[in-house]
Amino acid sequence: MTILVAARHTAEATGDHTFSMPELETPTAVTEREKRDAQRAQLRPLVNRRPELYDEDEYSSAEYEKMMELYNGTLASIDEGEIVKSKVLEIRDNMVVLDIGFKSEGSVPLEEFKDHPDLKPGDEVEVLLEHLEDQEGSVVLSKKKADFMRVWEKIRVAYENNTAVEGTLVKKIKGGVVVDLMGVDAFLPGSQIALRRVPNIDELLGQKFEFKIIKLNKRRRNIVVSRRVILENERAGKREKLMKELEKDQVRKGVVKNITDFGAFIDLGGVDGLLHITDMSWGRISHPSELVQIGAELEVKVLDIDWTRERISLGLKQLQSYPWKDVAEKYPVGTRVTGKVVSITNYGAFIELEPGIEGLVHISEMSWTRNVRHPSKLVSIGETIEAVVLKVDPNEEKISLGMKQTEQDPWMVLPLKYPVGTRISGKVRNLTSFGAFVEIEPGIDGLIHISDMSWTKRVQHPSEVVKKGDSVDVVILNIDSENKRISLGLKQAEEDPWLRIGETYPVGTDISGTVVRLMDKGVVVDIGNDIEGFVPLSQLTTTGKAVNSPADVVYETMKLDMRVLEVDPIHRRIVLGVTNIPEDQPPRPETPSKIIPMESEHDMGYPPVDMSVIDNE
């Protein structure tokens, strides 16, 4: 026994930790001498180290056996594949020597102790015993595998007990994120990151969260985790609590969780509510981000609760004073106001007078003189304009504004500026089937009706007399300021030839002419010099035979010899009678001439005037 103890002490003192003592192999049927020889063979390594302590003749066989039992009792009972505690004996350049209480020491690469920067001799660490002996007789140990087994065991327990584990989001991969669970990689599917889709996963990398393990496969080392499960459980608990507390018209604090084009989702503490864009401000906003930001804390009012559909409607503007209160006193009719154009439609422009109060300038109230086709021709978004309050309706939250009312109505002074009979010049701006519009001032047009274009010629279309862009001299015939109409005369700018028409075409004069229009009571003929005459049905033939329709006798462009029967300067007509129909005639048109009805005996075929068309010009 003295030799064994001394040998062990010597090994510890010299730092030689490779000492090992194989277990005794005592046959069941051996002689006393053979037994003693076997014991001596097992102790021979000790003798080689400290020969002075060994005397093979000093102890009996029974004493050797007793000493071996004592020595083997100092060795721990361990098996391969177990995690064992070890003591650091020595730290070398790239190796850590460990004592696990076995016959020989083991070593582990220093790099496996990265998590122990302050490691020193005497520290206790856990390692995995991979093999009791390798080819060199040394114990094979692994710190890394021991750590993995410990972590995996914790993960297994957490999985079986359905408990949460903490992890860090490491990197984004296809379909999800890699999570570090105590040094072991786990997979977090994208659908399990949060309750709703996360728009930017990169912002979460590096953050720590709690996860539930939803799938575990040790053989494949496959771990799938979920954060959504935890959030759903939390939400369920908070929702149950909130259902008991939340009531309509309550004012509660919440945090902006997400922003969309139509509003913002507010976390009320486990349950999200929608703050719609229309309930954010009494004023007009283009996007919710103009008023709220993600993560901001707000006070909101509960407008409506629908637990069946899990919808909570929230309001922000409802916590502010109602801007339309006393608006009639603040903006009385006739008040001149200034505002900013915030919206333009086909029918007008909306002007913001103050946040939450807007007025409409209708397209008809934009200009006294201009025919505005679209409000954008006069105003633009963001422009500041002046207007006059025309009407206020607090109940409907409407204010009617006028831009043109900020200026004097030029139509009110036109009768004074242009008395009837005034001769002016203007430019033909537009042509219609019934006349021509002439601009007499910027934005102010007057109408020359086709009946006022020529004293003598029956004008079928204004283009026969004037063209768009022509400069013409006209006479003011009438000004209707209330309805904003001006009647102009082109022929009135010249002397009336009908005053002396009887001298040019006395009764009985034989003349020739061309048929230009067929009327139901006769035909209109061109006798030259822009003068037209009328042939009644009874005067279309020389035989005296009754004629039911002018088309039975004549057609347009047909030439006739006639005699002047009557000259009427007052009604501006010449009545003719056919004396002869020349044989040489132009061909009859393929399309029969249209017969125009006459409203009176003085009607020469002018179409009636459609005043509604004039109003729209």
Q: What are phi and psi of 513, to 5 degrees?
A: -155, 175
Distance separating alpha carbons of residues 577 and 92, to the nearest angstrom: 141
Question: Is there a contact between 540 and 554 (Cβ–Cβ < 8 Å)?
Answer: yes
Distance separating alpha carbons of residues 211 and 76, to the nearest angstrom: 40
Q: What is the predicted pLDDT for the residue at 426?
A: 92
Distance separating alpha carbons of residues 27 and 248, to the nearest angstrom: 91
Question: Is there a contact between 410 and 451 (Cβ–Cβ < 8 Å)?
Answer: no
Report domain 500-596's class: mainly beta
Q: What is the predicted pLDDT for the residue at 435?
A: 94
Q: What are phi and psi of 464, to 5 degrees?
A: -70, -20
The one-letter code for the residue type at 547 is V
**How far is the CA of 302 from the CAs of 52, 271, 294, 315, 317, in angstroms?**
95, 13, 20, 6, 12
CA dihedral 225, 226, 230, 236 (to 10 degrees): -140
Copy the structure tokens of residue 43. 């102790």
Neighbours of 249 (CB within 10 A): 10
DSSP state of 369: S
Task: Using alpha carbons only, give the angle 509, 514, 519 rounded to the nearest 5 degrees.
Answer: 100
Q: What is the predicted pLDDT for the residue at 523?
A: 92
H-run or E-run covering 225? strand 222-226
Nearby residues of 3 by Cβ (< 8 Å), 6 or more positions away: 43, 46, 47, 50, 53, 54, 67
Q: b vs e for 552-566, b when ≥16 Cβ sit within 10 Å of the residue's Cβ?
A: ebbbbebbbebebbe
Q: What is the predicted pLDDT for the residue at 22?
A: 38
Q: What is the CATH number of domain 327-406?
A: 2.40.50.140
Three-state secondary structure call for residue 509: coil
* Strand pairing category for 348-354 and 336-344: antiparallel
Distance separating alpha carbons of residues 118 and 414, to the nearest angstrom: 102
Task: Using alpha carbons only, give the angle 489, 576, 518 rounded to the nearest 5 degrees.
Answer: 70
Copy the structure tokens of residue 218. 């040790």
Nearby residues of 279 by Cβ (< 8 Å), 6 or more positions away: 263, 303, 313, 314, 315, 316, 317, 318
Copy the structure tokens of residue 146. 């021991």
DSSP state of 599: S
Question: Is there a contact between 279 and 303 (Cβ–Cβ < 8 Å)?
Answer: yes
Q: What is the CATH number of domain 246-319?
A: 2.40.50.140
162-231 against 410-493: fold identical: yes
CA dihedral 553, 555, 557, 561 (to 10 degrees): 10
Report domain 162-231's class: mainly beta
Three-state secondary structure call for residue 157: helix
pLDDT digits (tens, 9 = 90+) for 154-164: 888 888 898 89
Question: Could you tell me how many residues make up the chain?
Answer: 617
Residue 274: strand pairing partners: 265, 313
pLDDT digits (tens, 9 = 90+) for 362-388: 999 998 888 788 999 999 999 999 999
Place of tokens 């719609």: 276
Q: Give per-10-residue mean pLDDT for the chain (617 aa).
A: 37 40 42 55 48 52 62 54 76 79 73 74 77 69 75 85 90 90 87 84 89 84 89 80 82 89 86 89 85 88 86 88 86 92 93 90 89 90 93 91 89 89 92 92 90 84 92 93 91 83 86 91 87 89 82 91 89 88 90 79 42 39
CATH 2.40.50.140 fits 83-147, yes or no: yes
Q: What is the predicted pLDDT for the residue at 463?
A: 92
Q: What is the predicted pLDDT for the residue at 495?
A: 82
Neighbours of 515 (CB within 10 A): 20
E-strand ranges in 374-521 read 384-393, 398-402, 423-431, 435-441, 444-449, 471-480, 485-489, 510-519
Distance separating alpha carbons of residues 390 and 228, to the nearest angstrom: 58
382 Rama sector, left if φ>0, alpha if ψ -120 to 50, beta otherwise: left
Burial of 187: CB neighbours in 10 Å, binned 0-12, 13-18, 19+: middle
- Got the DSSP string for 411-448? HHHHHHHS-TT-EEEEEEEEE-SSEEEEEEETTEEEEE
Break the chain into its structural domains and give their ranges: 2-73, 83-147, 162-231, 246-319, 327-406, 410-493, 500-596
Nearby residues of 388 by Cβ (< 8 Å), 6 or more positions away: 334, 335, 336, 337, 401, 402, 405, 406
Query: Rounded to a whole number, what is the distance in angstroms from the first to the last CA of the chain?
Result: 131
The one-letter code for the residue type at 560 is L
Three-state secondary structure call for residue 453: coil
The one-letter code for the residue type at 18 is T
* Domain 410-493 CATH (choose: 3.30.70.360, 3.40.50.2300, 1.10.240.10, 2.40.50.140): 2.40.50.140
Distance separating alpha carbons of residues 197 and 194, to the nearest angstrom: 7
Find the helix packing angle between 32-49 and 2-14, rounded to 10°: 30
